[in-house]
Structures are given as structure tokens and as C-alpha cells.
Structure 1
Amino acid sequence: MTSGAARVLRRLQERGETLAVAESLTGGLVAAELTSVPGASRSFRGSVTAYATPLKRDLLGVDGGLLAERGAVDPDVALAMAAGVRRALGADWGVSTTGVAGPDPQDGKAVGTVHVAVSGPGGVRKVAELRLNGGRTDIRRESVRSLLELLSGELGENAGAQDTEQNGGN
């Protein structure tokens, strides 16, 4: 998976831009993937693992009413997390993951429901809803890959034509 992280970091460096990460279900895996690349510190500012819903509100500025109404597994929550971490850590780009890795549904959402989002310069706001199959490890790993691919696309890099539901989800 490191090739996706390396591609994103290379493109950020070429553009002279920085990245911050907000993670929920991935619990730090995105940050770990990015920091496994030598020289990541040139573009990677840091991350917030906001696993508990109140942290999404308190640290990332996600609207409490939105969280109360829809729960944490929501595309607008993912976008707010990405924008919030971008603001909080002073980065050009912010990305986020939120979803249900299992074993049980959460907030009425099925296991494998994941939202990954990007917030960037010039008003860039992009979110992808994923329906992933497999166990916790598979869902979390595919969430990281999908997020890096989404960001790569927004950075103008052809990340390849892999389907974000490649592991069989619908």
C-alpha cells in the first residue's frame, strides 16, 4: 500500500503543499502509511485520531447537531472532519475516514459502510462512500487505500482505474 502514500507525498512535495489527517475507524493507519515513506515530514503535518464521537466535535469542529442527527458515519461528517483537521493543523489539504469496521453495526449503519473525504485549497471538497466486505482488518486496510486514491485524484495524479469497491463490496 505504501506506493499510494509515496505517490501522494511526492505530488504534495512537488506542489509545495501539506497534508493533515483525521481518522476514526482506521485508528491511525493512514498516518502510519504516510510516515512509512522516507521524507514524509516534508509534506505530512500530523494527524488526529478522533475515535470517540465527542472528539470529532471538540477537536475537529464537527457540528454537534449533525453528529446527534446522523451519527458519526455520514458523508457530511467525513467532510467536516477533513476540513476541521486541515484548519486545526494548518495544512493545505485535510483528509478523513469514518465508518463501521465491525463486528457490529453502528448508528444504524451496516458493517463496511465507510466515508473518506478530502478538503483542499480552492474549495475542494470531495467525499466517497464505500461499501466494503470482509473483516475488520480488510475494511480498515481498504479504507486507507481508497482515501489515498481519492486524494491522489484530487492532486491531479492518475492513481489508476481501480474501483473503490474492488474487494467485492456493493
Structure 2
Amino acid sequence: MNELNLQNTAKQVMSLLAERNYQLVAVESCTGGWVGKIITDLSGSSAVFAGSFVTYSNRAKQQMVGVQLKTLEAFGAVSEQVAAEMAQGAVQRTDAQIALSITGVAGPTGGTKAKPVGMVCFGWAIENNDPETTVCYFDGDRDEVRQQAVEYALQGVALRLAK
């Protein structure tokens, strides 16, 4: 996996967004804004990219995109439930029609037996639909986990837009 793969995936997503006249919003935790960077590296991204929320702390997740405290307390920040609320909150707070969210343990520290390093939860929300979520387990160092997460999240957008 490399930066060229990410750019190609971002171009594909931009094309699908343009076809539908949609805008994307991203909510990122462990990837720290990498989705926003990879999309805005491309000319014309302002037509299809509403922006990003970098919600690294639990408080930011609550304040910026409306993740409920009870969800954080019950499931933890790295959970499908939080990923769903992150994506849904972003669609509700912007003019974007589709959102992606990423929350995980990039490492090298912070992992537990239940939530090991490399565990990343994803959410995708399309306006007027229930959010979809999944969990992936990536191998590699911190940057490799984060890059794989960005790629996977963007592929998830492409998959949902191609339906």
C-alpha cells in the first residue's frame, strides 16, 4: 500500500461523489485528518468534500459530532457504536450527504486484549439511512495501520456510492 493507491482511491471516490452530486464529510480519530489531506491533495476536491472533523479525544467526539457520553462509557471510543454515532453526527451537522468515520488503536501503545493495536472501527452514513459499521484488524506500525484505515474507509465510500 502506498500514497499512489490512496490517491487513486480518492480520485475514484471523488468521481462517484460528483456523479451523484454528493459531498463527503470525514470524522477521524486515529487517522488524525489523513482522509481530509488525501482528498484535498486533489484538484477539484472542494466540489465534493465538505470537510473533516478530527475528533481525537472523547470530548471532541461529543462536542463536534454529538457522540453520546453513555455510548462512550458503555462501549469505549474504539467501537462500532461510536463509529456509527460519529458518522451519523457528521451528516446531521453538515450539508454533506455521506460521511465516513474512523476510530481505532494505531499503536504502538494503547492496545488491550479486547482492543489490540491495529483494531479500527469504521462507520459510513448516507443521509436518511441508518449508518453501517465494521471492524478491521490491520498489521504494521502506526503509520501503516493509519494508512490502511484511510484506504479502507475510502473504499467503503466507493462501495456504498456504487450501489
Q: Structure 2-normalised TM-score? A: 0.92
Q: Answer yes or no: is 1:79 the counterpart of 2:84.
A: yes
Offset of residue 70 of structure 1: 1.4
- 1:125 paired to 2:109: no
Listed as ranges, the gaps of 5+ residues in structure 1 are 158-170
2:53 is equivalent to residue 48 of structure 1: yes
Counterpart Cα distance in 2 of 1:88 and 1:132 = 30
- Is 1:101 the counterpart of 2:106? The answer is yes
Matched, 1:91 2:93: no
How far apart are the structure 2 equivalents of 1:91 and 1:61? 16
Matched, 1:151 2:143: no
Which of 49, 64, 73 is the equivalent residue of 2:69? 64
Partner SS, residue 114 of structure 1: strand
CA-based RMSD of the aligned residues comes to 1.3
Tell me the alpha carbon deviations over residues 43-68 of structure 1, each in whole angstroms, 9 at most, x when there is no partner. Answer: 10111100011110111101100101
Partner of 2:9: 4
Q: CA distance change for structure 1 residues 156 and 122 in 2, over 3 Å: closer, same or farther?
A: farther
Return the letter of the residue paired with 1:138: E
CA distance in 1, matches of 2:32, 2:47: 23
**Quick one: distance in 2 between partners of 1:110 and 1:17?**
35
Are positions 1:134 and 2:140 aligned together? yes
Quote how far apart the aligned CAs of 1:88 are: 1.5
CA contact (8 A) 2:91 2:127 kept: no
Higher-helix-fraction structure: 2
Q: Flag structure 2 segments of 5+ consecutive residues without an equivalent.
A: 1-5
